[in-house]
């Protein structure tokens, strides 16, 4: 299949939180027919009222699932895996499934292993978000400057990979790329999970409610993501434990290097690290 | 003395970089008479052309110094201390001196110790900046959401402290507060220097020029300040070495706690840290 908004490609979103809602908003604006299954009726009501979806259900609605050509799962990892286990008999043959899960190695293989032969799961990770939750905060502008990573395995067909890449572009992501589940998890441990560990740690160092009067933008920047959904992130950390531990250790080793330079008045090496970081960070300027 | 724009209070800025230039811009707009001494003629030319100053000199101009009622030093710490040593005989009696230096304990006492009895130095730290340098990047809007810390010692008069606080308000800072040099340096080691160490370390962990395709906003946020002036920051680190080492160790200890929770599948404690960080970070929302 290919995405075709003129032919009314029917997209079902399962889990209408911030990300699911933002997917719905972007796809609906592009002209797709978007339906949603989610837990609470107030979420459905909000999404209908704000024209994020064409139809919604709080039940695992067999007819709705049968109508879908593409299903996007925007659920917590373990909820996603259970959902597939319990409901995969309802998929129409040839349905393509994708997701937004933040870890891949411990999810993708297990799902592809248990999945019916006549449907295909192609994993993806939209690197976009906000520090707020819920469908009410849906905002398709979060995709504009962001990266979208398609995470195929040997089991995936070129067609499904192309479809998933096309979905990333239709959503409005700035960059769409491909990584293996292993490489993805290493990158995410470094770029996302480690940074969340650092932000949380920073906020836990001092109990001083006056800090806000003394802080500059640097501390603000480094702790923006310290407002964190503890249920979701602890689950993501545990599912990527080995990779995250490796990245934490690498970080601590380099941090210790810098500390030693300071202890030993080793200005040359300290400044060399600063120049390296400056050089590398320039590549990130949007 | 008091700041009085109607009576044309004459303010001299020594060192016209990003901060000195932004001070000039803000004060000139408020109606003060602003002059500057800085190293390069092109800086003076730029500042005159863009109406940041009323007059400027690349010499240590005795007449200009005699005209000033308030002098703001926006120099590297060691340059600032040398400048005072060599040129303090030129001050008019009762001149008030202030600065923008990012460390205080190793600067303030030494300057107050060597300073003539008939002038007064009241230290201040404007917690504002950008990752760019030079008078061309001057921008008085950087003060609007930022904090200004006055750092008095026992030697300072209530009048000079009040004047310095008034300067912070006139510059447009959101919050003006007072800290002792010791408390200031501890706060700055934690809020500013530690965060710069973390950002630099993060960029030094991996040599992968494709990172930019996979990153989300969190890594961007945590490394914005990794573009760093290595000469200035290594000097600031060295001048606040003990405080910075203490904060680095505190950070590593807490980081290690989080790591241990992950190793031991201790979800309860991990989530407790996340909830604490979330709670504390909420105080920082502007």
A212 touches chain B (CB under 8 A): yes
On the question of pLDDT at A6 being above 70, the answer is: no
Amino acid A70: pLDDT: 97
Amino acid B67: pLDDT: 95
* Lowest-pLDDT range of A88-102, B39-53, B130-144: B130-144
Q: Does an H or E element contain A185, and which?
A: helix A181-188
On the question of pLDDT at B171 being above 80, the answer is: yes
Q: Which residues neighbour A210 within 8 Å (Cβ) at sequence distance 6 or greater?
A: none
- With contacts defined as CB-CB under 8 Å, which chain B residues touch A226? 277-278, 280-281
Q: What is the pLDDT of residues A57-77, one digit of tens each?
A: 999 999 999 999 999 999 999
Amino acid B5: pLDDT: 64
User: B72 vs chain A: nearest CA distance in angstroms?
Assistant: 20
Amino acid B286: pLDDT: 61
Distance CA B5, CA A47 (A): 56
Amino acid A212: pLDDT: 86
Distance CA A218, CA A216 (A): 6
If DSSP codes are grouped into helix, strand and coil, which group holds residue B72? strand
| Ordered domains of chain A (ranges, CATH) | 10-179 (3.40.50.720), 184-282 (1.10.3660.10)
Amino acid B130: pLDDT: 79
Distance CA A118, CA A115 (A): 8
Mean pLDDT in chain A?
Answer: 94
Residue B7: which pLDDT band, with cuts at 50, 70 and 90?
A: low
- CA angle, A63 then A69 then A72, to 5°: 95
User: A198 vs chain B: nearest CA distance in angstroms?
Assistant: 7
Neighbours of A54 (CB within 10 A): 17
What is the biggest distance separating any 2 CA atoms in chain A, rounded to whole angstroms?
70
On the question of pLDDT at B210 being above 90, the answer is: no
Distance CA A165, CA B123 (A): 56
Amino acid B133: pLDDT: 84
Mean pLDDT of A138-153: 95
Amino acid A7: pLDDT: 60
Distance CA A241, CA B258 (A): 12
Q: Does an H or E element contain B125, and which?
A: strand B123-127
Distance CA A82, CA A86 (A): 6
Amino acid A210: pLDDT: 85
CA A190 to mean position of chain CA atoms: 14
On the question of pLDDT at A279 being above 90, the answer is: yes
On the question of pLDDT at B6 being above 70, the answer is: no
Amino acid A130: pLDDT: 79
CA B110 to mean position of chain CA atoms: 18
First-to-last CA distance in chain A? 34
Distance CA B20, CA B199 (A): 25
On the question of pLDDT at A169 being above 70, the answer is: yes
Interface test with B, best of A276, A277, A285 (most B CBs within 10 A): A277
* Lowest-pLDDT range of A5-14, A47-56, A211-220: A5-14
pTM of the model: 0.85
Contact: B146, A241; criterion CB under 8 Å: no
Distance CA B89, CA A184 (A): 64
Contact: A195, B247; criterion CB under 8 Å: no
Residue A143: which pLDDT band, with cuts at 50, 70 and 90?
A: very high
Strand order across the beta sheet in which B175-178 lies: B123-127, B147-151, B175-178
Q: Does an H or E element contain A164, and which?
A: helix A158-171
Q: What is the DSSP string of A60-106?
A: --HHHHHH-SEEEE-S-HHHHHHHHHHHGGGSPTT-EEEE--S--HH
Distance CA B60, CA B64 (A): 8
Cα–Cα nearest to A250, from B26, B204, B135, B173: B204
Amino acid A12: pLDDT: 98
On the question of pLDDT at B140 being above 90, the answer is: yes
Residue B4: which pLDDT band, with cuts at 50, 70 and 90?
A: confident
Q: What is the pLDDT of residues A253-274, one digit of tens each?
A: 999 999 999 999 999 999 999 9
User: B53 vs chain A: nearest CA distance in angstroms?
Assistant: 27
CA-nearest residue of chain B to A222?
Answer: B222
Mean pLDDT of A224-236: 93
B179 touches chain A (CB under 8 A): yes
Residue B209: which pLDDT band, with cuts at 50, 70 and 90?
A: confident
Amino acid A55: pLDDT: 97
Mean pLDDT in chain B?
Answer: 94
Amino acid A3: pLDDT: 79
Mean pLDDT of A81-90: 97
Q: In this structure, are residues A214 and B179 in contact, taking their beta carbons and an 8 Å threshold?
A: yes
Amino acid B2: pLDDT: 74
If DSSP codes are grouped into helix, strand and coil, which group holds residue B154? coil
Distance CA B126, CA A281 (A): 25
* Lowest-pLDDT range of A4-8, A125-129, A252-256, B94-98: A4-8
B89 touches chain A (CB under 8 A): no
On the question of pLDDT at B82 being above 80, the answer is: yes
Q: Which of A202, A234, A270 has its CB closest to that of B270? A: A234
Comparison of pLDDT for B156 and A128, the residue scoring more: B156
Contact: B146, A177; criterion CB under 8 Å: no
């Amino acid at each position: 299949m290919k995405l075709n908004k003129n032919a009314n490609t029917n997209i079902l979103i399962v889990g209408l939180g911030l990300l699911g809602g933002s997917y719905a908003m972007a796809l609906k604006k592009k002209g797709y027919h978007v339906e949603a299954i989610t837990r609470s009726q107030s979420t459905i009501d909000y999404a209908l009222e704000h024209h994020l979806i064409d139809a919604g259900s709080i039940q695992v609605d067999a007819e709705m699932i049968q109508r879908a050509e593409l299903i996007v799962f925007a659920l917590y990892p373990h909820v996603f895996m259970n959902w597939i286990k319990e409901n995969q008999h309802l998929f129409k043959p040839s349905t393509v499934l994708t997701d937004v899960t933040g870890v891949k190695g411990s999810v993708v293989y297990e799902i592809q292993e248990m999945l019916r032969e006549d449907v295909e799961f192609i994993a993806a990770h939209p690197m976009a978000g906000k520090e707020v939750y819920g469908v009410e905060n849906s905002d398709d502008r979060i995709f504009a400057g962001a990266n979208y990573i398609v995470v195929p395995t040997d089991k995936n067909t070129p067609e499904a990979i192309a479809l998933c890449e096309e979905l990333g572009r239709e959503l409005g992501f700035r960059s769409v790329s491909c990584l293996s589940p292993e490489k993805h998890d290493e990158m995410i441990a470094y770029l996302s999970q480690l940074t969340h560990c650092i932000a949380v740690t920073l906020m836990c160092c001092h109990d001083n409610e006056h800090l806000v009067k003394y802080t500059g933008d640097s501390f603000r920047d480094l702790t923006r993501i310290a407002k964190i959904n503890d249920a979701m992130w602890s689950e993501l950390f545990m599912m990527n434990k080995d990779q995250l531990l490796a990245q934490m250790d690498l970080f601590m080793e380099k941090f210790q290097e810098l500390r030693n330079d300071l202890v030993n008045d080793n200005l040359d090496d300290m400044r060399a690290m600063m120049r390296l970081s400056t050089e590398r960070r320039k590549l990130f300027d949007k």
